[in-house]
Structure 1
C-alpha cells in the first residue's frame, strides 16, 4: 500500500497503567538496556555523509502489517506531525512529511536535544577533558549558583546529567546564579530543571577551551553527516534545530553504541551503558538525559510524584528515548534494530517531555510491526 504525502487523549501519561508487553520481550528494572539484544553492528547500514542517498527497505520485505500503516499515518496527521521516520537496521522504511515540511526543513528538537548534550559530555570525558564525578564549580568556578559554598560544592557534573542538582526548578530555564537556589542537597531528589542542564554546555566549552557549538560540530555533528544548529530561543535555554534525517542519524549512532561506520565517536563503554540505564533511585526511568522504558516506576517533569509502571507500556521494554516539548520524539529500540523520529507541533497535551501521545503512537507502531 502506498500512502501519498498530504497536508498535515488528553489522558495524562503519568497515571497508573496496566503493563502491556505485546510480545516484545521483557527486562527487569535493573537489567541494562541493550547488551544481549543489541543489533549486530556489522549488519547496520549507515547512509553516506555527503549526499542525500539513503538505502531503503520496504515494509513488505520486513513482514510488517501494511494494513496497519494507514492507521499510523492517520494518527500522525491528526496529531500535527510534520516529519516521521522509521529506520530498521539503519535503512529507511518510512519517511513521511506533512504540509509544507520537507526533507530539507529544519525543526526544533526541544528537550529531545538534551540527548545530544549528554552524548557530547561523554565525548569530552572520553577525551580526558572532564570527569563527570568532578564538582561543577571546577569548570564553572565558585559562585555559579546562589548556594552556600559547601552546598554548591556537592553538585557534580553527574548531578547535572541526572537532574539531581537539588536546586529549585521554578525559574526553569534561567542560568543566572540568582535563579539557581537551594531546595535539597545534590543527589537527594530528582527534578526536571533546564538551568543546570543548559550549563552542561558551558562545562564542556570551558573544559575544551572552545565554543560549545564548535566542539559539538567538530566531535559529533560533522562526523555523522548531520546538519543543524544551536539557537537560544529565550536568552537562556539552548535548543537544537535540524532536519528529521539528522535526528535519525543521531538515533542510528546510538543504536550502534557510539560507532559510525568504521569510526568510534564515543568509545567510553561505561558512559554509554550508564547513559541509557537508570542513573539514580528517584526516577528509575531516567538515565543521562535520556528517558527509559521498561522500568518499574517513573516520574515526569514538574512533579515529585512517583508512578508505578512503565513509562510507555505499549513500547518495547528496552526502548530509550529523547522526548521534548510539543512531542518531539526520538525512540531507539536495540532489540528490534529500530530508530523512530517524530517532529511536529504539540499533539494535544502541552507537555515538556513524555505525554500520552507516546503510548498512543506505540499502539499504532506495535500493530504495524506485528
Structure 2
C-alpha cells in the first residue's frame, strides 16, 4: 500500500513539473528593448570637435562634389553639411558665412517645438489629445467656446486647428478666427506656437528654460529663440542644426540616452491626419501619393520631392532653410542661406534640383 502510494505521488509530481514546463514555454518572451546603433558617431557635448569621413572613403562620386558646391553657392547658400552615420562628410561655408555665424531656422525650427512637446508628454506634463484650453485657458482664439474646445494639442502640431490661415501669422485672439472644425482642414499657420505656451504652462517655467534643459543642453546645441514680430524664431550655427538632425536620425537618442521617445518620433514623422499625407507633426514627409503646400487648399499628386529617397523626411523653413533626414542612407543634410530663387514658405523648386545633384554624388 505504501509503495503504491509513493509511486502514485511520484507520477503526480512528474505530471505537474511537465505541465509547469509547458506553460512556461508558452509565455511570450519580453519585448527586446531598442538598442542604439553603435556605428553612429555623436560629437562631444562640450567641444566643437567633430569626427569626419570622406567622400572617397564612402565610395561616393568625388568628381560630383565640386559641381554640387558650385550650385549651392550660386543659389545663395551660406552653409551646407552632410553627415553620414553622424560623421561630417562635407562641410562648406560660402557667401560671407562661417562656422561660427548664427542663422535663422525659420519654419525648420517648428520641429524643435515638436521634439519638446514629445518630451513634455513623456514626462506626463501634457497629453497631445487634450484640448489646448486645458493648459492655457479659454479665449485664446476668437472662435466660440464650443469650437475652440475642439482644438487639441495634436491639431496644433498637425496644422489642423481649423483656424483661418488668411488672417496672417499673428497668434493674438483676434487673428485666430474659426473657419472649420478642428481636424477637418489642413492649413499652414503660425498658431503652432501656442504649443510653446502649452509646454510653458504645463512645466510652470518659460519655454526657453524648458527647451534648454530638456533638449538644447543635452545634445550640445548653441543658439537662442528670438522674437520676430508674431513669430519666435530659432537662430544657431549650422553645426547646431546638424546636431538636432543627428538626434532625430538616431531615433531620439544621444549616445546611450533616450531624449525624445522613439515611439513619439515614429508618430511625428508619419502621416498624422488624412488631409495632407505629406505632413506629420511639423515634419514634411516624402514618398507619399499626394501633398499640400502652404497658402493653398489644393492637393497635388505625387511625391513631395521626387528626386529624394522615399523614406526621406525633412524640416523646411522659409527661404530654403533645410534639414533632410534619410534613414535608409544614414544621412543628415543641412542647408542654410537666403532663398535659392524666389522667396518661399517651405518647399521650393530648389529641393528637387538639389536632390538630383545629391544623387549624382552619393549613388
When normalised by structure 2's length, the TM-score is 0.90
Are 1:233 and 2:243 counterparts? Answer: no
**Could you tell me which residue of structure 2 aligns to residue 189 of structure 1?**
185
**Could you tell me which residue of structure 2 aligns to residue 245 of structure 1?**
239
Q: Hey, what's the Cα distance between the residues in 1 that align with 2:67 and 2:306?
A: 19
Q: Note if contact 2:269-2:285 (Cα within 8 Å) is conserved in structure 1.
A: yes
Are 1:84 and 2:84 counterparts? Answer: no
Greater helix content? 2
Root mean square deviation, CA, Å: 1.2
Q: Note if contact 1:39-1:255 (Cα within 8 Å) is conserved in structure 2.
A: no
Are 1:138 and 2:131 counterparts? Answer: no
Q: Hey, what's the Cα distance between the residues in 1 that align with 2:219 and 2:66?
A: 32
Structure 2, unaligned runs of 5 or more: 1-33
SS at match of 2:57: helix
Q: Note if contact 2:36-2:253 (Cα within 8 Å) is conserved in structure 1.
A: no
Higher RCO, Cα 8 Å, sep 6+: 1
Q: Hey, what's the Cα distance between the residues in 1 that align with 2:175 and 2:84?
A: 44
Deviations 1:184-212 (A, max 9, x none): 00000100001x21111111100100000
Are 1:46 and 2:39 counterparts? Answer: no
Q: Structure 1: which 4+ aligned runs deviate by more than 3 Å?
A: none
- The one of 294, 301, 308 equivalent to 1:301 is 294
Aligned-pair distance for 1:92?
Answer: 0.3
**Could you tell me which residue of structure 2 aligns to residue 8 of structure 1?**
none
**Could you tell me which residue of structure 2 aligns to residue 270 of structure 1?**
263
Q: Which protein shows a greater Rg? A: 2
Q: Note if contact 1:253-1:259 (Cα within 8 Å) is conserved in structure 2.
A: yes
Are 1:97 and 2:93 counterparts? Answer: yes
SS at match of 2:100: coil
Q: Hey, what's the Cα distance between the residues in 2 that align with 1:237 and 1:212?
A: 14
Aligned-pair distance for 1:67?
Answer: 1.0
Aligned-pair distance for 1:350?
Answer: 1.0
Are 1:68 and 2:61 counterparts? Answer: no
Structure 1, unaligned runs of 5 or more: 1-37
Q: Note if contact 1:293-1:315 (Cα within 8 Å) is conserved in structure 2.
A: yes
Q: Hey, what's the Cα distance between the residues in 2 that align with 1:292 and 1:40?
A: 24
**Could you tell me which residue of structure 2 aligns to residue 159 of structure 1?**
155
> How many residues are aligned here?
330
Q: Hey, what's the Cα distance between the residues in 2 that align with 1:264 and 1:222?
A: 14
Q: Note if contact 1:330-1:339 (Cα within 8 Å) is conserved in structure 2.
A: yes
Q: Hey, what's the Cα distance between the residues in 1 that align with 2:113 and 2:166?
A: 22
